[in-house]
Amino acid sequence: MIPLIFDIKRYAISDGPGIRIAIYFKGCPLRCAWCHNPESQSPKVQKLYTASKCIGAQDCIEVCPEDALTLTRNGIVTDYEKCTLCGKCAEACPTKAIEMSGKLYEVDELMQIIERERVHIEHSDGGVTFSGGEPLMHPEFLIKMLKACKEKGLHCAVDTCGFAPAETLLEVAKHTDLFLYDLKMLDSSLHKKWTGKNNHLILDNLKALATAGANINIRIPFIGNVNTHEDEVRAMAEFVAALPGKKPEVNLLPYHNIAQNKYNKLGQVYNSEEMREPTNEEIGSAKAAFVEKGCKVEIGG
């Protein structure tokens, strides 16, 4: 199955070394409460609507072949019983108040887009990063892309939540220079509460990847009231320090409450009440806990 791509970011500087092009796959097995890219979670095409951009021109209503749109006091409302997600309304909208998320690309098409960035990539020792969503949900396409990039001498990173069959991960590792591996928390029941899944597979896979000698950068979304408690931080530091092979670098990614707008566009609820931005003291203590275990720590991507 060819995955849908929901974003292609040029000049990406937080997704691995150097200047990179980051390709974002749609579809994720987790449902993290803090997810900043809620449009990444579903593997299907989605429609986003920004009411503040809508000028009520009604071009969308005129072109809709399914009669699925209505102009109300709250803006354009879609009847998803009728909507086929054909995208004609988005094409017709003069202000881009309606946008479609998710586009199919062939390997060759993506390679042409990547090649256009080669100058910046080479001058900065950058590369290509496959992210999401979860790129490991689409292993066949991902491996084709990785092979095509490696043939062109490009550095390849895979940004993963680690929730995938171990054999898939290890196969992908054969073509990957660097994993950006998310670690959320070690308490499995809390992991299930906050992401929808327990963390057994994720932790086992991380150990397997380290045992296989992969180059790994651990990324920890650091969220007040979620994983900032000192017991949790200590447990994560001990786990990372005990991984076999070279000690991975750790990126602590402090949570920012900025995703509300995207959830609004999708018509989804963002339950952010329990989460908060970590304090400077919490960030400093967490950094110290990892440094004490011999890990190099960066704050941010």
Please select the residue that binds ligand SF4; options are 17, 18, 87, 224, rule is CB under 6 A.
87
Please select the residue that binds ligand SF4; options are 11, 55, 84, 96, rule is CB under 6 A.
84
3-state secondary structure of 84: coil
Contact 38, 268 (CB under 8 A): yes
Alpha helix (H) ranges present in 131-229?
Answer: 139-151, 166-173, 188-195, 200-211
Contact 148, 120 (CB under 8 A): no
Place of tokens 């900032």: 228
Nearest to 129 by CA among 251, 252, 3, 12: 12
Q: What is the sign of the dihedral through the CA atoms of 81, 85, 87 and 88?
A: negative
Please select the residue that binds ligand SF4; options are 16, 133, 135, 254, rule is CB under 6 A.
133
Rounded to a whole number of angstroms, the minimum distance from the CB of residue 124 to ligand SF4 is 25
Rounded to a whole number of angstroms, the minimum distance from the CB of residue 79 to ligand SF4 is 8
- Does residue 3 belong to the site contacting ligand SF4 (CB under 6 A)? no
For ligand SF4, give the closer residue by CB, 30 or 154.
Answer: 30
CA dihedral 186, 190, 192, 194 (to 10 degrees): -110
Rounded to a whole number of angstroms, the minimum distance from the CB of residue 300 to ligand SF4 is 16
Q: Within 13 Å and on the Cβ side, how many CA atoms surround 238?
A: 7
- Does residue 205 belong to the site contacting ligand SF4 (CB under 6 A)? no
What letter does residue 276 receive in the DSSP assignment?
B
User: Residue type at 38?
Assistant: P
Rounded to a whole number of angstroms, the minimum distance from the CB of residue 258 to ligand SF4 is 13
Rounded to a whole number of angstroms, the minimum distance from the CB of residue 185 to ligand SF4 is 12
Q: What is the sign of the dihedral through the CA atoms of 174, 180, 185 and 191?
A: negative
- Does residue 132 belong to the site contacting ligand SF4 (CB under 6 A)? yes
Rounded to a whole number of angstroms, the minimum distance from the CB of residue 40 to ligand SF4 is 5
Helix (H) or strand (E) holding 10: strand 4-12
For ligand SF4, give the closer residue by CB, 47 or 262.
Answer: 47
Nearest to 46 by CA among 1, 94, 7: 7
Nearest to 79 by CA among 290, 270, 267: 267
- Does residue 41 belong to the site contacting ligand SF4 (CB under 6 A)? yes
Rounded to a whole number of angstroms, the minimum distance from the CB of residue 28 to ligand SF4 is 3
x/- map, 140-179, ligand SF4, by CB under 6 A: ---------------------x------------------
- Does residue 83 belong to the site contacting ligand SF4 (CB under 6 A)? yes
For ligand SF4, give the closer residue by CB, 20 or 47.
Answer: 47
* Chain residues in the site for ligand SF4 (CB under 6 A): 28, 30-32, 35, 37, 40-41, 47, 63-64, 66, 68-69, 78, 83-89, 132-134, 161
